[in-house]
Amino acid sequence: MRVLALKELIEFMKEVYRKQGYHFVGKQAVVKPCYWMKRSLLSKGERHCYKQTWYGIPSHRCLQMSPTILCTHRCIYCWRVQSTDIGLTPPSSNNIFEAPFDDPRDIVINSVKKWKDILSGYRGNPNVDPLMLEEALRPVHVTFSLVGEPTLYPRLSELIEEYFKYGFKTVFIVTNGTLPEVLSNLDREPSQLYVTLPAPDKRTYFEVSRPLIPNGWERLMKTLSLLKSFKCPTVVRITLVKGYNLKDIEKYAKLIEMAEPTYVEPKAAMDLGFYRRRLSRDNMPRHEEIKAFGRALANLTSYKLIGESLHSRIVLLSRLDKPIKLYPS
């Protein structure tokens, strides 16, 4: 393994991401249209992400980004590149917080500008509705979920606020929950908060998430205990891998009942990208297995199964009869 200083490591990783179609808009801030955003445009809205079906988020107007490419985990199922995938030693827990970051306002302005540049290539495409494209050029939703761990960004509240000031209607944060102190000190809540639960117990957590910081499991448990304090809807995302964490549903059930999120989303880890360097296709659960997991979890908790998406291999559980439409279409 090659050992690089943190700034050198970041630059090396950025170059790898660029080759994969990621667009950097600062020192670390990065954007990239997701599969469903492009699919929605090319199908003239007939196909879209489950977030549109469940939460009303229009797929063609969803900007996916991250303020940092660094992460406190090295999850075996992650489809993003990790330093160890390309022969580099990961950053230590002592200096991962010392990375250079971008100004919140600059991130918003530059991410929207780059988004428009990226989507301008769809002009004149006969498969794209011109009116939909014009809407897509004015995104109304942003998700901090592209790469890395967004709570590592030291000005997260300001970034949320800046996107709202710019005119965005909804902001989602997707976190691995290892920095509960950041979440508990947010001055501005997102529209919806996702926390990934990658394991039913501490031993499995270390095997699946391979944390870079100490006390990762305890920190995640603290985050789960904080969910009841949020006013916005909260989601516990359970990313499932056959042979690793698709087990011990009773333990998951106890954690869900403790956290009391608005929603639970059991989802299959997908055989994409750098996942393939660490796992095989056999480790990706079938949708039937995810649905069976969701039903079993519902039987063990006060939650009920209220939605599913076959293409994304995900099911939705909630105490609500139907999900809240955050951006009604």
Q: H helices within 46-126, ranges in order?
A: 50-55, 104-119
Task: Give the type of residue at 191.
Answer: S
Q: How far apart are CA 78 and CA 174, in angstroms?
A: 14
Mean of the pLDDT values across residues 310-325?
96
150-188 per-position pLDDT tens digit: 999 999 999 999 999 999 999 999 999 999 999 999 999
pLDDT of residue 129: 95
Burial class (CB in 10 A: 0-12, 13-18, 19+), 147: buried
The answer to which of 106-115, 197-206, 274-283 has the lowest mean pLDDT is: 274-283
220-256 per-position pLDDT tens digit: 999 999 999 999 999 999 999 999 999 999 999 999 9
Q: How far apart are CA 264 and CA 267, in angstroms?
A: 10
Task: Give the type of residue at 306.
Answer: I
Say if residues 53 and 34 touch (Cβ distance below 8 Å).
no
Cβ count within 10 A of residue 225: 13
List domains and CATH numbers for the chain.
6-318 (3.20.20.70)
Cα distances from 149 to residues 126, 195, 203, in angstroms, run 38, 11, 22
R_g (Cα) of the chain, nearest Å: 19
Cα distances from 56 to residues 90, 135, 168, 328, in angstroms, run 38, 15, 14, 5
195: nearest Cα among 209, 207, 215: 209
112-150 per-position pLDDT tens digit: 999 999 999 999 899 999 999 999 999 999 999 999 999
Q: How far apart are CA 236 and CA 193, in angstroms?
A: 9
**Confidence band (pLDDT; 50, 70, 90) for 97?**
confident
**Confidence band (pLDDT; 50, 70, 90) for 328?**
low
Q: What is the distance in angstroms between the CA of the first residue and the CA of the last residue of the chain?
A: 50
Mean of the pLDDT values across residues 83-94?
84
User: What residues contact residue 197 under an 8 Å CB cut-off, 6+ apart?
Assistant: 177, 220, 224, 236, 237, 238, 252, 255
